[in-house]
Structure 1
Amino acid sequence: MRTTFIRLAQTLACSLVAAACIAGPAHAARRQVVTVEKQTSPSVKRRISRTFVVARRRVAVHVADARPSFGQLAGLHSTQDQLDLKSSVALVIDQDTREVLLSKNDSAVLPIASLTKLMTGLLVSEAKLPMDEMIEITQDDVDTEKGSSSRLRVGTTLSRGELLHLALMSSENRAAHALGRTYPGGLATFVGLMNAKAKALGMKDTSYVEPTGLSSRNQSSANDLAMLVSTAYNDPKLRELSTSPGYQVAVGNRTLSYNNTNRLVKNQNWDIGLQKTGYIHEAGQCLVMQAKIAGRKLIMVFLDSAGKLSRIGDAERVRKWVESNPRVMPTSTLIRQVNG
């Protein structure tokens, strides 16, 4: 009887939160859940309360996902390409010859989500800061932009090297923010250096306002991101950390296990030298990679892909296309220089 009641209460919480998120403020739903809670024991109340919070968070994510991306608003998804890619922006470049094999809306400037962390990692690595220095996660690192969650609680202390690993491999937002916040000179200095580095690399379409990618004002083009990937690939640390399949960190008496956000790093069909994923609803699903395919070193950029697995599907389509056409001719030569 008790189990049945809990399940009914949980279902009610989910339904009410969904209705509230769509039709009005969540506190209206909360009042109705409280009515149910009054008839239960304290332990059941706690379970219902937790269910309410989780349900509200899940519905909020679904509502956010339903909003159109910047690329969709700009009509970029109507652009056709020879591989029927699901990404509205795509670019594939031969890293050695700097020739473009495939391009689609490659000059469009869009939000880049956590692809931002590739620049964050590049600056931290190039600064040669002590990787064993301990850094504490503070309230300043908590996401107030999107309200995303993190397993790195306020007060958690990890080394700079551990934070860099988590930022690049599993796209940990608090880790990336802490890296920027504790950079010599502070966060404002760090963001300034991000933009200065982009300018120095010739990334004329790129602008950063923070180090995580949670802000939609972090924007770039596929052409610019190809330059960044090519530069980042020259850093052994970024290659190692971004392609690490998994990583564990000790937090107090707990061990937290993290996985790479890009499932292709565990795929034996892929030889990936560098990668980074990204997602916020304004940017859609994003992916940049350096990978060796059919003996060629390629840089691939996919932005504003619709669907959780579509960026992976696009990468697979490109790989199979190149493998089945090993002598595929470039469509053009990249006008702007891409560092080799």
Structure 2
Amino acid sequence: MRMLTVAVMAALLAVAGLAGPAHARTTAPRVTAKEVYLIDAATGTPQFARRETRRVPVASLTKIMTAYVVRRSASLDAVVTITKADVRHAAANGAARAGLKAGERLSVRDLLYALLLPSGADAAGALARTYGPGVRRFVGKMNAAARSLGMRDTFYTNPDGMPQPGGDHSTAFDQVTLAKTVLADPIVAQVAGTKRHAVAKTPLHRGHVWKNTNRLLPDDAQGLKTGYTRPAGYCLMFAAARDGRTYIGVILGERTDAARYRTARSLLDAATAAAAAA
């Protein structure tokens, strides 16, 4: 009878979350974004999913695909000349800029930093114009790359993610696929994970200092990209190592800048706790 009573009490405590397996006590992440997807990078196992296949704009996360296409098309040491059109396009659309000036000549390597750290639409325009050649052909390459990667619910209309007639869209699921792909490229991974990059003045260009817009760096993540437009909301593509595991996540349609980082940290904390309890 005593043994039966102990067994019943243990069962009741386990149901209440006061005893039993550790995973019974893990806390669900606090997620306020509209679309979210988080995976274990090594296994591809989903850790959290919310409307991950819903088609929505992804703002400047688009520039990760721009970097991917450039890496397949250009030498890092190749030199690109900035034009008035590159600068004018970014300024006219109110986009984030890297402060480039017409006539400057910068390497592709440096322009990747200008593209991904301050999220420069001027750098995106210069790279797309050069390696399309022409922006329209470059966007065609972006969409071809998306198809080749199995990103079936993704369509790009420009290389910078600014709102444009024609309706660019992707999904959290597809963007995680892209993130996993580009992390295998050591150059893109290095650039996207850099907090600050300085370019010294030369006869070819002015001096520049670019700071990464990703506030998870360097302690909470290894990269990859932020984004914001009014239609897309606050977006974040990130990768982080926790306790020997790497997690890759995408947050879309978040309400505020601060909220996207809270959501990312909460997702990572919950995934880490679940892995420890398994």
Q: TM-score, normalised by structure 1?
A: 0.67
- Contact 1:145-1:214 within 8 A present in 2 as well: no
- For 1:257, the equivalent position in structure 2 comes to 209
- The amino acid that maps onto 1:208 is Y
Q: How many residues align?
A: 245
- For 2:43, the equivalent position in structure 1 comes to 97
CA distance in 2, matches of 1:117, 1:328: 37
- Contact 1:294-1:322 within 8 A present in 2 as well: no
Q: After the TM superposition, which of the residue ranges 253-262 and 217-226 deviates more from structure 2?
A: 253-262
- Contact 1:113-1:218 within 8 A present in 2 as well: no
CA distance in 2, matches of 1:327, 1:289: 21
Deviations 1:199-236 (A, max 9, x none): 11111110011111113533100111111111111111
Percent sequence identity over aligned pairs: 32
- For 1:106, the equivalent position in structure 2 comes to 52
Of residues 226, 242, 246 in structure 1, which corresponds to 2:176? 226
CA distance in 2, matches of 1:324, 1:233: 24
SS at match of 2:257: coil
- The amino acid that maps onto 2:195 is P
SS at match of 2:241: strand
CA distance in 2, matches of 1:328, 1:218: 40
CA distance in 2, matches of 1:316, 1:211: 29
- The amino acid that maps onto 1:284 is G
Alignment of 1:235-246 (within 5 A): 235-246=185-196
Q: 1:149 to 1:288 in 2, by over 3 A?
A: closer
Of residues 61, 66, 78 in structure 2, which corresponds to 1:133? 78
- For 2:157, the equivalent position in structure 1 comes to 209
- For 2:137, the equivalent position in structure 1 comes to 189
- Contact 1:271-1:293 within 8 A present in 2 as well: no
- Contact 2:216-2:261 within 8 A present in 1 as well: yes
- For 1:38, the equivalent position in structure 2 comes to none
SS at match of 1:264: coil
Q: 1:126 to 1:149 in 2, by over 3 A?
A: closer
- Contact 1:205-1:224 within 8 A present in 2 as well: yes
- Contact 2:176-2:248 within 8 A present in 1 as well: yes
Q: TM-score, normalised by structure 2?
A: 0.81
- For 1:86, the equivalent position in structure 2 comes to 32
Superposed displacement of residue 144, structure 1: 6.3
- For 1:308, the equivalent position in structure 2 comes to 257
CA distance in 1, matches of 2:265, 2:201: 37
- Contact 2:61-2:225 within 8 A present in 1 as well: yes
Name segments (4+ residues, structure 1) moved above 4 Å. 251-254
Larger RCO (alpha carbons 8 Å, 6+ apart):
2
Superposed displacement of residue 249, structure 1: 2.2
Of residues 298, 314, 324 in structure 1, which corresponds to 2:273? 324
CA distance in 2, matches of 1:99, 1:326: 12
Superposed displacement of residue 149, structure 1: 5.8
1:295 and 2:244 aligned: yes
CA distance in 2, matches of 1:170, 1:144: 14
- For 1:160, the equivalent position in structure 2 comes to 108
CA distance in 2, matches of 1:328, 1:304: 31
Deviations 1:97-135 (A, max 9, x none): 2111111111111111110111110111122x2222222
Superposed displacement of residue 283, structure 1: 0.6
SS at match of 2:34: strand
SS at match of 2:237: strand
CA distance in 1, matches of 2:119, 2:31: 24
- Structure 2, unmatched stretches of 5+, are 1-26
CA distance in 2, matches of 1:322, 1:148: 34
Superposed displacement of residue 328, structure 1: 6.3
C-alpha RMSD over aligned residues: 2.1
SS at match of 1:325: helix
SS at match of 1:317: helix
CA distance in 1, matches of 2:61, 2:238: 10
